[in-house]
Every structure is written in structure tokens, then in C-alpha cells.
Amino acid sequence: MNRRRDSDLNPTITDRIRRLTAPGWMRSVLVRRSVAVALVVCAAVLAVVEHRDPPTPTALVAVRDLRPGQALTAEDVRIASVPEELTPDDAPTVDEVVGRQVTGPVHRGEIIARHRLLDARLPAALTGRSDARLVPVRPADDSLASFVRAGDRVDLLGDDSQVLARDAIVATTPSTDRSGPGETGTLLVAMPADAAHRVAAAGIRDPITFVLH
């Protein structure tokens, strides 16, 4: 009697197998208990998975206001959590932006994407032409330069009113804090290669006049 009681309290592997293979209600009870335990474990695992917070999207944002053409340092940006719908598809990493120039003014807290940075693909991206080039242009009039913004479409005229380029796109605008009294800032303008050559040659002699669209 005592041996049977000890066997019930401390079943060996043989006892467990014998019980599982035994006919009748005992086997049914053991099977139901095993299934119940398995269901409880599965429910607990599913609950943990369902309540796990999804990863929060992040992006680089400007720590301070950035001027057009400014080369970025690691101190100019930080990684911030942003809503998923605002996360740019071309979001760069910190290493990818260091040393790159922004194409236009960037305000503090603004998200920085690759298309806001100067690179070899920018002229083609702005104009839609694979032969596009970036040309530094010195405006003939400081006041006119202050009205131009990155992304504006302009026609460029030489000193003799000859049209040098049509539908050129401004990539960067002059930085006001770099231009002293009487100085004219320089813009970078994207245009097809043939127009770029004309503008570059004319700009050696005289400032260029802009016609805004």
C-alpha cells in the first residue's frame, strides 16, 4: 500500500508511460490535463507577442536652423522618433549626411532626407535629364537673389539679354551670412549640359540675370 502511494506521489518515467497507455478514465484525464497545459502555454505566448510594442520609426532631424549649402556635421543632426507616415523613404544615416551640403534652408526639427542633400545625382533628379549639370551662377542683382528659393524654375540671361538657359532649376541659394556688404551670393542651378556650358562661359565675363517663372 505504501509502495503504491509513493508511486503516485513520485511517479517514475515508467509509471508515467504506463498511465498514458492505461485504458479507461485515467488516460483520458491525463490527456485532457496535457492538452489544457499546452493551451495555457500557447495563450500566454500569443498574449506576449500581441502586446509587444511595434518598433518606432526614426529619422534624422536638424538640431538647429541650417543655411543653404551648409556642410553637415554630426552635431547638426540627431535621431528622433517620428510618425510612420512622416518617415522619408530615402532617410539617410548620420554617417551618410556628415560632410554633405543641404540644398536649401532647413529649419530646426525638420526631417532630413537624401533628396535634400547635394550629390552627383541631384541635377538629374531635379531636371529629369541624365545629362543635367550643376552650374554656380552669380546673380547680377543681390535683391533678385534674395527672392530665389531652392526648387524655383528660372530662365538665365546674359549681359546682352541673350537667353542662356530655360527652365533651369535652382538647387541651392546663397547664404546671407556668408555675403558681406556689396557681395553677391552664388547659386547652384541645374540645367542640361549644353545650357550649362553656355551659362558657365558667360558667367566668367558677367553676372547672370534671372527671370523667375
pLDDT of residue 104: 73
List the single range of 96-100, 135-139, 176-180, 208-212 with lowest mean pLDDT.
176-180
Asked if residue 87 lies in contact with residue 150, where contact means CB atoms within 8 angstroms, the answer is no
Q: Looking at the whole model, is its pTM more than 0.75? A: no
pLDDT of residue 156: 94
pLDDT exceeds 50 at position 96: yes
pLDDT exceeds 70 at position 180: no
Encode pLDDT of 68-95 as tens digits: 778 899 999 999 988 888 888 878 899 9
Phi/psi for 7 (5° steps) reads: -65, -35
The answer for residues whose C-beta is within 8 angstroms of residue 125's C-beta and 6 or more apart is 115
At how many degrees (to 10) do helices 25-50 and 13-21 cross? 110
The single residue listed with the C-alpha cell 509509471 is 15
Share of the chain above pLDDT 90, in %: 22
pLDDT exceeds 80 at position 181: no
Q: 64 falls in which pLDDT band (50, 70, 90)?
A: very high
pLDDT of residue 24: 56
β-strand partners of 154: 168, 212
Phi/psi for 45 (5° steps) reads: -65, -45
Give the chain's mean pLDDT: 79
How far apart CA 80 and CA 91 sit, in angstroms, is 12
Written as one letter, the residue type at 157 is L
Encode pLDDT of 25-44 as tens digits: 555 666 677 767 777 777 77
Share of the chain above pLDDT 70, in %: 75
